[in-house]
Amino acid sequence: MRPDNETCVQRARFFFYFFEKKDWQPGETPPLDAIIKSKTVGPEAIRNLNKFLSTRLERIAEMMEILLRAHDDWAITGKKDYVLMETETYDFTNAIRVLEQHGFHDDEFILKVEYTRKWGVL
């Protein structure tokens, strides 16, 4: 978004889901599936979910810290399955860039961008 653009407001919304990634790589199985979709659940399935969640939640916390250091005007909402960070005052391309600079990939979050007209008709 151009900084001098006065006709639209950009809302960037980052969704950080706890149990899922945006894209699973070939050969990867969501660890929650081994519990929910299995007829018998063994202790190893629980341990795999524990490892996944520990890593996943730490990565989410790191991404949130990075975005909060980069910009201070975020609305953060906790939901049952995810955390939502949204802003209308920080360009999403800058947010993606700073996350990539710290080793994060776009399959670790879901980004939705909305534009709203400030005035007039399209």
pLDDT tens for 10-46 read: 999 999 999 877 677 787 778 888 888 888 889 999 9
Distance CA 29, CA 12 (A): 29
Query: Phi and psi (nearest 5°) for 97?
Result: -60, -45
Q: Which two tokens stand for residue 114?
A: 């909305």
What residue segments make up the domains of the chain, in order of their start? 9-117
pTM equals: 0.84
Give 105-108 contacts, CB < 8 A, sequence gap 24+.
Answer: 106/22, 107/21, 107/22, 107/23, 108/16, 108/21, 108/22, 108/59, 108/63
pLDDT-derived band at 3 (thresholds 50, 70, 90) equals: low
57: left (phi over 0), alpha (psi -120 to 50) or beta: alpha
Share of the chain above pLDDT 90, in %: 61
Can you give the pLDDT at residue 28? Answer: 78
CATH of 9-117, one of 3.30.450, 3.30.1600, 3.30.70, 3.40.1110: 3.30.70
